[in-house]
Amino acid sequence: MNTRELRQPLPNGRGSESTSEPRPLGSGWRRSLRVLLLAASLAPACYGQFQLFVVNGSAEQPAPAVYSLGAVYPNQAASAHFRLRNTSSAAAKVTVLSVAGAGFTLNGPALPVALNPQAAVDFTVTFLAPDAGSYSAPLLSDGVSLLLLATVLPRLTYEVDTGAGLQPLGSAPVDFGSVELGSSAVRHFVAVNQMTVALTVPAIAVAGGDFALSGVAPSGTVLQPNQSAAFDVRFSPTAAGSRSGSLVIGDQTYALVGAGAQLTYEVDAGAGLQPLGAAPVDFGSVELGFTVARHFAVANQSAIVLTAAAISVPPGDFSLSGAAPGGLALQPGQSADFYVQFTPTATGARSGSLVIGSQTYTLIGTGLQLTYEVDAGAGIQPIGAGPVDFGSVVLGVSLARHLAVLNQTTVVLTVPAIAVPAGDFSLSGAAPGGLALQPGQSANFYVQFTPTATGVRGGSLVIGNTTYALTGTGIQPPLPNPVLSINLPQALSDLQGAVTVTLDAASKTSGSGTLTLDFQPGPGLPDDAAIVFASGLRTAAFTVSPGDTQGHFGAQPTAPFQTGTTAGTLTFTAQLGGVTAQQTIAILPTTVGTTLVQGVRSAAGVEVQVTGFDNTHSAGPLAFTFFDAAGNAIAPGAISTNATASFSSYFQNSGLGGVFLLTAVFPVTGNPSQIGAFQVQIANSAGTAQSARTAF
């Protein structure tokens, strides 16, 4: 008998009951199920020569009269694999193979098809329906029939807007497109209740580190028929390239995909532009005072417009050279250049960093420096932190120091500019600034010091960006050496002489000196206050002016002095500019010297006075001889006396050196006028001195 299609949709009289999961059939389903069973009983699964089997993998089972494809959701497919076999011993022809019912389709061989005994033909029945309800369809073949059942459960519909409006979520991944690292893209999703009953939005979650819900999802929200609830998913790529995640809604999982896009940063380290990597960017070896720049580029190799991140180089030995393209929008395929320079401030390994957005790249380089040396009197030595000392130099005279620049590195280095600012210091000859020195080579130059004033003088030697202090002391030219010249007729007491201080060369400067007269009396003799310069002192100052060949004692060229009246040694010392000249004169003991002899006659007698000096202070024996007018000695002849005690007492207390005044009174019996002259003899340790015959 013919089998008619039976389709019973879900009843509408369920009130507000909602569901999002498959449910067992309730009382509302019983009438349709009973009808289906009655219909299925009208035709067996096999007839005559053919028998129908259900195929599950490699096994086949005889098909029942009613076969259910199970419960699915709207637009969710269910399928079954069948096999029609010729179970007879004779060949048979299949002329009918069909399924009739909404949502059911058959995929099988073209008919008719002949089957030998035990041969079979396979086919598939697929069910897919958009509406909830119970579905059935007869499966018919030659002498064979089977009733197919399927159920579509009510379910929410999920849609996404990928740029062309809301579209149902399907099996294809939801593509968020290319997104720049550090940025985000958001896709708008909607849960729609297209059923006739209220449904609850199941749990909504997003898995995958680059994808996340943006805001609160409507999980647990009850949606009435035709109601909807929206939610958003954000894509924030953490790395460049393809990224993936998943959107989980209840028991359904939808794939999420996107691409992280990033600008490419490159550097030319000598072999053309290459991508920046984890390794430091090496600027190589650079001489202090010089700069080396590296060429960097930022390229947009993606398919979208990307904006260059902020670019900076923290202060130090590295810096940006010119403007950087931070903030510049780069079209696909575009690039922008920038430069970083390395100017080492010290020798040895130096480091810095290039910061691009949140990325930091290490920069390294090596500072090299020529060695600078100076010969300050102890051979060539490296210039240190202290000043280069030129010592003491006479005004108007120049002193040069030998300096050298040496390349002790393994690369060619260029000598930077060398200068000495104007002042008391200057370059003597050409300096090797700009000269390229091979490893191990050196070059010499000289700096001279010509003081323009006395005292400490300062200057500087500038080599590239390094300054070395120079110091020296300006001093007056040295005074010439003094030479003593003494003009004294004889080395005797009671004489005057003069001292001249001559110079061994004409003086180049002004100065002053001192001439000192020291006296060392003979043994047992006291000092003699009469031994002095004309000033009455034993020191005399003299001055020297430029061009002088001798010292000047005030307005006089010499310093007069007197030898006094005491035997001993005179020592003259001239001091000028730290140099001393000395000369001594010995005043030897001599017989008594007389400077004035005179006599006076009176009625009672005669008086003899002798003024003289005794430089031995040892006078004593005296002899007086008187003569008449005819020149004959008057009896008794020489009148002698010993006055040693008197002289000794006198010399000890006089303080006048050897000077004395002797007065001798002689009473005369007779006529004193007959005494015409007299003569005196005085003896001391050096001998006897006799005065000339002196008339009254």
Distance CA 355, CA 362 (A): 9
- What does the mean pLDDT of the chain come to? 90
Confidence grade of residue 169 (pLDDT, cut at 50, 70, 90): very high
* Domains with residue ranges and CATH for the chain: 27-152 (2.60.40.10), 157-261 (2.60.40.10), 264-368 (2.60.40.10), 373-474 (2.60.40.10), 482-587 (2.60.40.730), 593-695 (2.60.40)
User: What pLDDT digit, counting tens, does each position of 400-448 carry?
Assistant: 999 999 999 988 999 989 999 999 999 999 999 999 999 999 999 999 9
Q: For 18-27, 307-316, 616-625, which range has the lowest pLDDT when averaged over its residues?
A: 18-27
Q: What is the CB-side half-sphere exposure of residue 64 using CA atoms within 13 A? A: 7
Task: Give the whole-angstrom CA distance, residue 157 versus residue 168.
Answer: 7
Cα–Cα distance for residue pair 135/127, rounded to 1 Å: 9
- Alpha carbon distance 260, 211 (integer Å): 12
Residue 1's pLDDT band (boundaries 50, 70, 90)? very low
Give, in order, the Cα–Cα distances in Å from 89 to each of 92, 116, 142, 193: 9, 8, 17, 56
Which of 396, 454, 452, 402 lies closest to 428, judged by CA?
Answer: 402
Task: Please tell me the predicted confidence (pLDDT) of residue 48.
Answer: 54
Instruction: Give the C-alpha separation, 296 to 342, whole Å.
Output: 13
CA distance 117 to 285: 91
In angstroms, the CA 257 to CA 250 distance is 20
The confidence score (pLDDT) of residue 631 equals 93
Please tell me the distance from the alpha carbon of residue 149 to that of residue 137, in angstroms, as a whole number: 7
State pLDDT tens for residues 552-604: 999 999 999 999 999 999 999 999 988 999 999 999 999 999 999 999 999 88
Is residue 465 within a helix (H) or strand (E), and if so which, with residue range? none
Q: What is the pLDDT of residues 208-235, one digit of tens each?
A: 889 999 999 999 999 999 999 999 999 9
> Per-residue pLDDT tens for 303-350?
889 999 899 999 999 999 999 999 999 999 999 999 999 999 998 999
State the pLDDT at residue 271.
Answer: 87
**Cα torsion for 624, 630, 636, 639, to the nearest 10°?**
0
376 confidence band (pLDDT: 50, 70, 90): confident
Confidence category of residue 482, pLDDT binned at 50, 70, 90 = very high
pLDDT in tens, 177-187: 999 888 899 99
To the question of pTM greater than 0.85 for the whole model, the response is no
The strand ranges marked E within 162-198 are 166-168, 174-180, 185-192
**CA 614 – CA 593 distance, rounded (Å):** 6
Asked if 380 contacts 402 with a C-beta cutoff of 8 angstroms, the reply is: yes
Q: What is the pLDDT of residue 41?
A: 40
Say how far apart CA 263 and CA 15 lie, in whole Å.
58
- 435 sits in which H/E element: none
Per-residue pLDDT for 108 more than 70? yes
- pLDDT bucket at 359, cuts 50 / 70 / 90: confident
For residue 674, which phi and psi values (nearest 5 degrees)? -75, -10
Question: Residue 6 — pLDDT band, cuts 50, 70, 90?
Answer: very low
Which residues, in sequence order, are bridge partners of residue 368?
Answer: 287
Could you give the angle at the alpha carbon of 115 between the alpha carbons of 109 and 119, nearest 5°? 100
Per DSSP, what are the bridge partners of residue 291? none
Band (378; pLDDT cuts 50, 70, 90): confident
Q: Which two tokens stand for residue 248?
A: 């989980």
Residue 677, Cα to own-chain centre: how many angstroms?
111
